[in-house]
């Protein structure tokens, strides 16, 4: 998949989570290098987008998740770029902790297993919605800055 601002922001939040949870200095050094690279990619992508160097149709690649909507209610994802980026970070943190339960799935009581899996599914849908919404926010900013007609 080609990178978008949303996908780069997603990668950055995951790197930050890994940094928080890693104690091994070698891995931490690698993650710190990755963080620098991703931040540079975000700056470069945003600069190019806001200066008309990225075509509008390359600013977003919607996830187009196909899922049963009935019974899979997700929170409404909206807000400005910073708000949605912050929500993406929170959702990825929640996903991290939900995934931890799956790693020890045999320890999850039988009556709670379906809830754990459902929580993962919903969080992942919300994560994808955040990525899409970040991309939509960037498109709005580019259109406003460059006065582009769509």
List pLDDT tens digits, range 95-141. 999 999 889 899 999 999 999 999 999 999 999 999 999 999 999 99
Reported confidence tier of residue 20, pLDDT bands at 50, 70, 90: very high
Task: Report the SS3 class of residue 121.
Answer: helix
Nearest of 38, 40, 47, 46 to residue 16 by alpha carbon? 38
pTM given for the model:
0.90
Instruction: Estimate the crossing angle of helix 110-146 against helix 25-50, to 10 degrees.
Output: 40
pLDDT computed for residue 147 by the predictor: 85
Place of tokens 């891995």: 27
Rounded distance between C-alpha atoms, residue 61 and residue 131, angstroms: 9
């Amino acid at each position: 998949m080609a990178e978008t601002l949303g996908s780069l922001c997603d990668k950055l939040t995951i790197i930050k989570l890994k940094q928080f949870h890693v104690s091994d200095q070698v891995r931490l050094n690698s993650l710190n290098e990755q963080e620098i690279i991703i931040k540079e990619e975000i700056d470069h992508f945003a600069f190019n987008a806001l200066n008309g160097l990225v075509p509008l149709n390359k600013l977003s690649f919607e996830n187009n998740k196909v899922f049963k909507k009935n019974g899979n209610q997700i929170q409404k994802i909206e807000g400005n770029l910073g708000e949605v980026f912050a929500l993406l970070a929170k959702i990825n943190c929640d996903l991290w902790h939900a995934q931890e339960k799956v790693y020890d799935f045999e320890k999850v009581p039988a009556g709670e297993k379906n809830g754990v899996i459902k929580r993962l599914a919903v969080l992942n849908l919300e994560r994808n919605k955040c990525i899409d919404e970040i991309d939509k926010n960037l498109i709005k900013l580019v259109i406003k800055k460059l006065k582009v007609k769509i």
